Amino acid sequence: MMRFLLLFGLQIMCIASVSNAQAYDTVLYQKANNFLMQGDYDNALMLFKKLATTTPANYEVVKTYVYASQLRSDFTTALQYGEPLLKSAQADDQLYQIMAAVYSSIGENKKVEKTYKEGIQRFPNSGKLYAELGEWYASQKKENVAIATWEQGIAFAPQEANNYYYATKYYATFNQPFWVIIYGEVFANIDKLSNRNTEVRKLIIDAYKQLLSEPKLLQAAAAQSSFAQAQLTTFWEQRSRFNEGITPEVIAQVRELLLADWQRNQYNNKTPWHIINWWVTLQQQSYLAAYNKWLLGAYGSYEKWQQQYPTEANNFWKWMRSNIYKVPPAQYYHK
């Protein structure tokens, strides 16, 4: 939860001016932001208090004061200014994040849940609210409710990476490798640069090994839905390829066969899937092989390939970094 708030803080603290009807001291606001980014909460709070007192109708100023108070563990001030702000027409999803964190810090669990739910009702497409509520449910040992919440986040806010991350880890823990592969690959493409990327890519290759080493598990996964069947039929038909080892190279070969089968059977007309379309784009750019090496090579094989073919690897990664992965709406199949 705090990680999301920190990211939120870094985003808003760099704003040199706040668009709001009530005028305020922009120089003082920037100084307060600078103190906050430096971790000097005492000086930040001193200045934000002055700003909030002199411009109480400036929503962003007061919200930032609430946020700074939460970081400083001054929950009394955070509640004093934050609770009335929640009732205002200006309240945004970030404020719900902040106030849920405040309630969590003081052990008000019912208010944590209530705040997140009210935020989601008000902002049904706010992916971070789903992600944080699911994370909170998991901390309360309510894993079934947590995964249902992350799934809602994936359905209603498909571009938010964190719901895929938590769902991937959940399915890895609860022995559902198919969904580890599906959601893990989406996460790996949305969040290419964080440390969690390597973690998730390792889960993906582990899930492939688990799924392909247990025929009954593969059959059961394929029987879940027409979407799963379309994804896994090729792997079932090609399972003999793995008799001598389930390696990234062989998995990549079968993934390319899956792409050919998907196009030949026109599965995109029945269950369009953005990852498959991404493969097509990569293939058109002559990067599909490199992509599979990257996705399936988290245990070291991709690094070895990078060392052997630095030019190809650099070109591929330059392309990946410059092409943002976008998840289209209405492609949610885990119902």
Pair (12, 142) in one structural domain? yes
167 is a domain residue: no
Residue 143 contacts residue 151 (beta carbons within 8 Å): no
Pair (272, 141) in one structural domain? no
Q: How far is Cα 98 from Cα 115, in angstroms, rounded to an integer?
A: 10
Pair (147, 198) in one structural domain? no
Pair (187, 303) in one structural domain? yes
Pair (278, 214) in one structural domain? yes
pLDDT at 30: 93
> pLDDT tens digits, the chain, 335 residues: what are they?
544 444 444 444 444 344 444 667 889 999 999 999 999 999 999 999 999 999 999 999 999 999 999 999 999 999 999 999 999 999 999 999 999 999 999 999 999 999 999 999 999 999 999 999 999 999 999 999 999 999 999 999 999 999 999 999 999 999 999 999 999 999 999 999 999 999 999 999 999 999 999 999 999 999 999 999 999 999 999 999 999 999 999 999 999 999 999 999 999 999 999 999 999 999 999 999 999 999 999 999 999 999 999 999 999 999 999 999 999 999 999 86
171 is a domain residue: no
Half-sphere CA count of 83, side-chain side, radius 13 A: 10
283 is a domain residue: yes
The domain in which residue 245 lies consists of: 181-335
Q: Please say which residue of 157, 191, 209 terminates a domain.
A: 157
Pair (203, 91) in one structural domain? no
Pair (200, 153) in one structural domain? no
Pair (242, 305) in one structural domain? yes
pLDDT at 305: 97
What is the value of pTM for the model shown? 0.92
Pair (268, 139) in one structural domain? no
148 is a domain residue: yes
Each residue's pLDDT tens digit, 218-262: 999 999 999 999 999 999 999 999 999 999 999 999 999 999 999
Pair (9, 76) in one structural domain? yes
pLDDT at 2: 46
pLDDT at 304: 97
11 is a domain residue: yes
198 is a domain residue: yes
Pair (288, 207) in one structural domain? yes
Query: How many domains does the structure of the chain reveal?
Result: 2
59 is a domain residue: yes
The 3 state secondary structure assigned to the chain is: CHHHHHHHHHHHHCCCCCCCCCCCCHHHHHHHHHHHHCCCHHHHHHHHHHHHHHCCCCHHHHHHHHHHHHHCCCHHHHHHHHHHHHCCCCCCHHHHHHHHHHHHHCCCHHHHHHHHHHHHHHCCCCHHHHHHHHHHHHHCCCHHHHHHHHHHHHHHCCCCHHHHHHHHHHHHHCCCHHHHHHHHHHHHHHCCCCHHHHHHHHHHHHHHHHHHHCHHHHHHHHCCCHHHHHHHHHHHHCHHHHCCCCCHHHHHHHHHHHHHHHHHCCHHHCCCCHHHHHHHHHHHCCCHHHHHHHHHCCCCHHHHHHHHCHHHHHHHHHHHHHCCCCCCCCCCCCC
Pair (96, 238) in one structural domain? no
Q: What CATH number did the domain enclosing 91 receive?
A: 1.25.40.10
pLDDT at 79: 98
pLDDT at 1: 52
176 is a domain residue: no
Each residue's pLDDT tens digit, 224-233: 999 999 999 9
Residue among 251, 258, 297 nearest 279 (CA): 258
